Amino acid sequence: MKGVIRDKKAFLVFLLPCLLFYLFSVFYPIEESIRLSFMKWGGLGAKKFVGFQNYIKLFQDKVFYTAFFNNLIYLAIVVCMQVLIGLLFAVLLTYIRRGATLIKTLYYVPCIITTVAVTQMFRSMYAVQPEGIINQVLKAFGLGRFATSWLTNTKTVLACVSIPEGWRYSGLYMVIFYAALISVDPEICEAARVDGANAWQTLFRVKIPMIKEVLLLVLTMALTGALRGFDIPYILTNGGPGNVSELMSTYMYKKAFGSNQFGYGSAIAVFIIVESMLVVAILNRIFTSKDEIEEKKSLRRTRRSKARS
């Protein structure tokens, strides 16, 4: 038995099922999307190769630009809510001695509620007829002039479809941040205090830099999640009214599966993939400090010189 595990070929065999599954479920669809994005296909009959036509059309499509800029606003709202609220609550939670677990669980609950339920809840909250809680509260405080139909008002709808997503996952990020914060060695904080740092300084100069890796992970998750944002906006407004709350993913879905333009839809999908990869690359770059870059470079240099010798 020992021999099998030592054998490098055996690794391959054990890896194979996972690798095949990965290739089949992740790599193959991406490859197909890329291939389809150069085709014109209505779902029936032969696919017609059209070169870059879908991409040319993409960059001339007004709705696509609307969706792109909407997506940026959506991204800003969702990521800010998730990361800031998550971090704030996690920090507050570290000061609580009793009931932290209960609070953690309660704040985590929205993550496990199904999307449709979350959507229905927000739909009723935003509603005018029967009057939703937001308008009721506004009226109760004498702010009735601000009451509106949140989901059909072209000025409010985009923010309204972003908030549920931000609200929903802030609990998840809170749990991640909390776990990271409590794992920071208390002796370091103690040392900072001895050196005269106040609570704010300890938090911003010591604790948060110590959990930088986790912050990067959370930002990556939140950003790519927001770029792919689909379900809540789709169910709440389906991109409407008009295309006012259209996101790239809802537009992609509409084009591919609503309008039968699989080629064009795939071109949008490819754009989303490239965009997500770019964002992650930029994020990585920002979070890698100069020292680390130098470190990596020198490591590479030593490896190269070792290889040469």
Query: Which residues of the shown chain bind other proteins in the complex (CB under 8 A)?
Result: 3-4, 7, 9-10, 13-14, 16-17, 20, 24, 42-45, 123, 126-130, 148-154, 237-244, 254-255, 257-262
Nearer to other proteins, 224 or 243 (CB): 243
Q: Report the nearest approach of other proteins to the CB of residue 82 (Å).
A: 25
Question: In this complex, which beta carbon is closest to other proteins, that of residue 136 or of residue 243?
Answer: 243
Give least dist CB 21 to other proteins, A: 9
DSSP state, residue 82: I
User: Nearer to other proteins by C-beta: 91 or 127?
Assistant: 127
20, burial (CB in 10 Å: exposed 0-12, middle 13-18, buried 19+):
exposed
**Which one, 49 or 257, has the nearer CB to other proteins?**
257
Closest approach, Cβ 32 to other proteins, in A, equals 12
122: buried, middle or exposed (CB in 10 Å: 19+, 13-18, 0-12)?
A: buried
Q: Judged by CB, which is closer to other proteins: 4, or 109?
A: 4
Q: Is 64 exposed, middle or buried (0-12, 13-18, 19+ CB in 10 A)?
A: buried
CA 48 to chain centre: 34
Query: Strand 48-49 and strand 39-40: pairing?
Result: antiparallel
What whole-number distance in Å separates Cα of residue 156 and Cα of residue 172? Answer: 26
Contacts 24+ apart (CB under 8 A), 65-68: 66/243, 66/244, 66/246, 67/239, 67/243, 67/246, 67/247, 67/248, 67/250, 67/251, 68/248
Q: How far is the CB of 115 from other proteins (least distance, A)?
A: 14
In this structure, are residues 179 and 88 in contact, taking their beta carbons and an 8 Å threshold? no
Is the Cβ of residue 150 or residue 169 nearer to other proteins in the bound state? 150
Q: How far is the CB of 66 from other proteins (least distance, A)?
A: 12
Q: From the CB of 234, what's the least distance to other proteins, in Å? A: 10
